[in-house]
Structure 1
Amino acid sequence: MKDDTPYLLDDDAIQQFIVEGYLQLQSDQPRDFHARMYEELEPLDETGPRGHNNLLPCVPELQNMLDEPKVVGALTSLLGPNYYLHFHRHDHVNYPDGAQALHKDGDNHSHNAMDGLRRYHPTRFVMLLYYPQDTPVEMGPTGIVPRSQYVTRRDVDRLRKKSERIKSEIYQSYRSKLDAEAFRGTNRFQRYAEMEADFKEMHPDLVEDINAASAPWEEAKIPLSGDAGTISIVHFDIVHGRYTANVTGKQRHMVKFLFARNEEPTAPTWNHRSKAWQGSEDDPQCPIWKNVWSWHLGTSDNTTSQRDVNELSEVLGSRDDAIALGASYELGSKADGLSLLFEHFFSEDLDLRAIAAYGIVRAAEQALPELLSRLETADTDVQVRILDLIGDIGLHASSAVASVTPFATSTDVPLRRTAIEAIGLLTQQQSPLDDAVIETLTNALKDEDAIVVRNATFAIAKLGSKACTDEIIDRLRNNLYHWHHHVRGWGIEALQRLDDPRAMKLAIRYLSSTRWDPSAKSGDRALTEQPMKESRQLVSS
């Protein structure tokens, strides 16, 4: 059996990723491979359907890059051995144009962004970015802000959301002036360009405020430049965007793949030698980094802040997001600090309660008694936020499964969504699964809400053979034709992870029938006595 240990990351690399939020590799594929990938990407549609989520069927050779031992080793180190190549992928093309605003993916629709701000800190998703061409700064590479993956951007987000409401109103005004057919006939990119121009003309003060709030982030960004074959792996929530305009006159391709962790960590999955934290001790985010390091190790965070709760309480109110978050984690390490965090979490101050939530998750099982005592009697919105925290605590909250499960049948849609997602995280060490959990997941596969169905399917994929029943297989099969692509995508993966011959046959049959042939036509070349060979010119990269 081949030993892949040399391709796993070491402690230093894992800690560097935890701190900086990214790492870079160089593909071992030859340059002609990358030139071929560039050529095959050129005619595709950035937003699909020929391309986008159908990127791999259109350019299947890209899988060879994803299967390189060093890539597999890095992803295994960060996400565990059973990570999943998510069905969403995107070839971001940088035409000769301007830079892209910095953002976090899913800013507007992340189902993990409770209160519009709070995302999960543990490494449950990463993005892999691949360049098929040499990408110097002049070509407008992707830019990232190191150390931004755990940090909220409260001031930027507040202004951005205000601007988006206004832009939506402007956009709808365009729609109201045209009938539906005429509106569809206009150029989408031109409509957005006109909307941006009108917004800037009508709201110059807001534009100035956004630019001022964004300036520190813009100043901190760095380019992910590199030769053809450069691979960057970044935390899903890192702040990123196009670094500069592309001034080369040639299209730049950056292929983005999304990878998901399947199991919560119970032990290191890299070349591990020492549990000691070797990184910075004086950065305000250090308490976050140490906590994520403990999470990767599969252990509890036993650090305790040496600072006084009164001092930390004052720091918690800082408008510097990194400082406030660090204080929240420190408060979560102290019993009297946890009480203060609960006070803020159950307040009406959205900014402060989102920050306080992180410290409560850091407290892990110490926070469960208070969370569970509030869960039964709280308003629905608060119940959703409590379930979100319990799910994020993960394996350390496994004792709460019986309390969480009834909410999966609530009449409230957000409650069902959040409860099902939490069940998939809390029950991973439960074997066999309780009958109530199996019944809950089975019923959720027929929920009227697509996100509930998606979350149930994702949970089943995580639980694998433990969740395998004939009824679950049948419902997963039926959902392969669900209208929502998330349900279909996770459904294929869940069937393959049930460790059941019938489930595997159903997955393969579906994949065979939906296979995408990128060729426009085939079989139409006249046969001659000469060997039939590929004939095409590679685009120089």
Structure 2
Amino acid sequence: MLESNYLLTDEQMMQFITKGYLVLQNDIPQQLHQSIMNQINYVMHNEGNPGNNILPRVPDIQQLFDTPTVKGALSSVLGSDYYMHPHRHCHYNQPGNATPGGGQWHKDGYWSSMRSHRPWWAMIFYYTHDITEDLGPTAIMPGTQYYEKFLGDRGETLLPTGKAGTMVLVHFDLWHKASLNVSELDRYMLKFQFLRLSAPEIPTWNHQSSEMIVPEGTPAIHLNLWQDVWDWLRGEQSAKQAGTISEERLLALRQELEAEEEITSLNAAYELGQLGTQGIEELIGQIINGSNLTAVRAAYGLQGAGIEAIPELLRVMKHEDEKRRALAIFVLGMIGSSEGEVVSSLIASLQDESEWVRRNAVESLGMIKHTGEQAVSALANVLIDSLKCETNDASQVNKTVNYASSQTYITNQIGYTAALSLLRIGKSGYVQEVVRSLEQALYSNDRYVRAYAAEALTHLRTEEAVDILIRFYRSSRWCPDTSKVSTF
């Protein structure tokens, strides 16, 4: 059992919420870091970048993520049942790389049909050696995890440095880039991604005070947004503002919500989400009739409205525009309640003509507590049906999907999301039916469907699931010592 002193403090959690990162120092012998770096150096120069196979190729890396420091930080942010995602990568920054400035500012490609401000995902950047600014560490822009648009010169650039073993825990959506390596040494950074398997019910860090205290020196830019994340991580719903506000203030908030400036619009959205009926009506109105951009921001604000928003969201699920239906379903997943007709409505949406809507319904069912056997059975059927529609023709992948056209790394988006939801809630249904669907998914054309299916079977741990996994691993086992230069 993890000792509480390895969990994050309230102050560290608030830094993660406001700034989007934490620097972790792993107390591990220098020899291990040196050994890992030597192994990676050999692989990169003799075999090329192994991509997702970096962990089985250099198994010693797992020791870093098994330390109490790292497990404590990830458990604090993502819950104790977090999962290491199968996408991993070794970023090799060569001396004097030719890219001006070292790279382009970006967010990593996301795995859902919509990004979440709440930390369902996180990443860790690990450096195998002492990392100084001249070696080109990954630059981050603190506090930008909530923005779709790049802040440019208005943002702060930070270059985290430290001794070998330095790890930077970041919100999945934080803007970052490789900086220029002006040294004469190779720089290796390993990027690993992690995801939350269940919504928080209680604080999973060293929680002492229910009051949200913004770190000293942090401009109070997004108090309502930060409060929403803080309360959600504590398993609590944010307190609503008492009474009603004036028509003048409501009009002002509407205008701010419709503003092009993202900071202004998000502030208005989250403030409206805390205003009870008045705020819900305004935000719902924007999802129904607002511009596409305003509707998305309104959806974020509605998360904090909680179960009071459910009746209106269920009505929006009947909207003629697929985007509006999809947004309503996204919010229901984030609210996480199975109250009333939520689950039955989401199951019905699995038959929607829009893949966007269907995919959001699949994911929301995996995020909601107490969905029941019917939902799990429906997800198992969705997974099986998605496998029947798979193609090996790359030109057909995502051809008709306009909401996630950049997600070419997921070739079966419905199946991928269904396997993830079964990983989250598969135990609460008819397990044998779930096992059968996951067994078929082990042979999907999509590598991430296969990975999720294997992990879900591992979580189920029935006799049949274990037997299926043993047979699967016998044929798929990776030998980390085999390379193009080995002979046996």
TM-score by length of 1: 0.78
8 Å CA contact retained: 1:151, 1:325? no
Unpaired stretches in structure 2, ≥5 consecutive residues: 391-411
What amino acid does structure 2 have at the position aligned with 1:374?
A: V
Task: Classify 1:58/1:120 alpha carbon distance in 2 versus 1 (closer, same or farther; 3 Å).
Answer: same
State, as a whole percentage, how many aligned pairs show the same letter.
31
Secondary structure at 2:337's aligned position in 1?
helix
Q: How many angstroms does 1:340 deviate by? A: 2.0
Task: Classify 1:25/1:19 alpha carbon distance in 2 versus 1 (closer, same or farther; 3 Å).
Answer: same
Q: How many angstroms does 1:403 deviate by? A: 1.1
Measure, in 1, the Cα distance between the counterparts of 2:127 and 2:431.
Answer: 43
1:285 equivalent to 2:222? Answer yes
Q: How many angstroms does 1:52 deviate by? A: 1.0
What amino acid does structure 1 have at the position aligned with 2:157?
A: K
1:261 equivalent to 2:200? Answer no
Match in the other structure for 1:22: 21
Structure scoring higher RCO (CA < 8 A, sep ≥ 6) equals 1
8 Å CA contact retained: 1:138, 1:245? yes
What amino acid does structure 2 have at the position aligned with 1:327?
A: A
Secondary structure at 1:234's aligned position in 2?
strand
Q: How many angstroms does 1:320 deviate by? A: 3.3
1:387-466 aligned within 5 A: 387-395=329-337, 400-426=342-368, 428-430=369-371, 433-434=372-373, 436-446=374-384, 447=386, 448=389, 450-466=412-428
Q: How many angstroms does 1:75 deviate by? A: 0.7
8 Å CA contact retained: 1:387, 1:422? yes
8 Å CA contact retained: 2:94, 2:187? yes
Secondary structure at 1:135's aligned position in 2?
coil
Measure, in 2, the Cα distance between the counterparts of 1:11 and 1:503.
Answer: 39
8 Å CA contact retained: 2:80, 2:204? yes
Secondary structure at 2:350's aligned position in 1?
helix
8 Å CA contact retained: 2:2, 2:72? no
Runs of 4+ in 1 over 6 A off after TM superposition: 521-525
1:43-442 aligned within 5 A: 43-45=42-44, 51-96=50-95, 97=97, 98=99, 99-106=102-109, 110-113=111-114, 119-153=115-149, 156=150, 214-217=152-155, 220-242=156-178, 244-279=179-214, 283-304=220-241, 308-334=249-275, 335-347=277-289, 349-395=291-337, 400-426=342-368, 428-430=369-371, 433-434=372-373, 436-442=374-380
Secondary structure at 1:102's aligned position in 2?
coil
Task: Classify 1:429/1:12 alpha carbon distance in 2 versus 1 (closer, same or farther; 3 Å).
Answer: farther
Q: Using the TM superposition, name which of 356-365 and 463-472 deviates more.
A: 463-472
1:485-496 aligned within 5 A: 485-496=447-458
Q: How many angstroms does 1:271 deviate by? A: 1.5
Measure, in 2, the Cα distance between the counterparts of 1:468 and 1:257.
Answer: 33
Secondary structure at 2:42's aligned position in 1?
coil
User: Which structure has the larger Rg over C-alpha atoms?
Assistant: 1
Q: How many angstroms does 1:389 deviate by? A: 2.1
Residue by residue over 1:280-304, the C-alpha shift from the partner in whole angstroms, topping out at 9 and shown as x without a partner, is 6972311111110110010111142
8 Å CA contact retained: 2:287, 2:327? no
Q: How many angstroms does 1:21 deviate by? A: 0.7
Measure, in 2, the Cα distance between the counterparts of 1:49 and 1:379.
Answer: 46
RMSD: 2.4
Measure, in 2, the Cα distance between the counterparts of 1:380 and 1:356.
Answer: 16
8 Å CA contact retained: 2:222, 2:267? yes
8 Å CA contact retained: 1:112, 1:120? no
Residue by residue over 1:403-448, the C-alpha shift from the partner in whole angstroms, topping out at 9 and shown as x without a partner, is 111111334322221111111112x334xx23x3133112112122
Task: Classify 1:10/1:103 alpha carbon distance in 2 versus 1 (closer, same or farther; 3 Å).
Answer: same
Secondary structure at 2:209's aligned position in 1?
coil
Unpaired stretches in structure 1, ≥5 consecutive residues: 114-118, 157-212, 526-541
8 Å CA contact retained: 1:365, 1:396? no
Measure, in 2, the Cα distance between the counterparts of 1:83 and 1:377.
Answer: 35
Secondary structure at 2:164's aligned position in 1?
coil
Measure, in 1, the Cα distance between the counterparts of 2:40 and 2:467.
Answer: 31
Paired positions, count: 451
Q: How many angstroms does 1:396 deviate by? A: 7.1
Match in the other structure for 2:408: none
8 Å CA contact retained: 2:22, 2:168? yes
Measure, in 2, the Cα distance between the counterparts of 1:110 and 1:216.
Answer: 28
Match in the other structure for 2:396: none
Task: Classify 1:282/1:258 alpha carbon distance in 2 versus 1 (closer, same or farther; 3 Å).
Answer: closer
What amino acid does structure 2 have at the position aligned with 1:72?
A: K
Measure, in 2, the Cα distance between the counterparts of 1:3 and 1:264.
Answer: 20
8 Å CA contact retained: 2:377, 2:434? no
Match in the other structure for 1:530: none
Secondary structure at 2:414's aligned position in 1?
helix
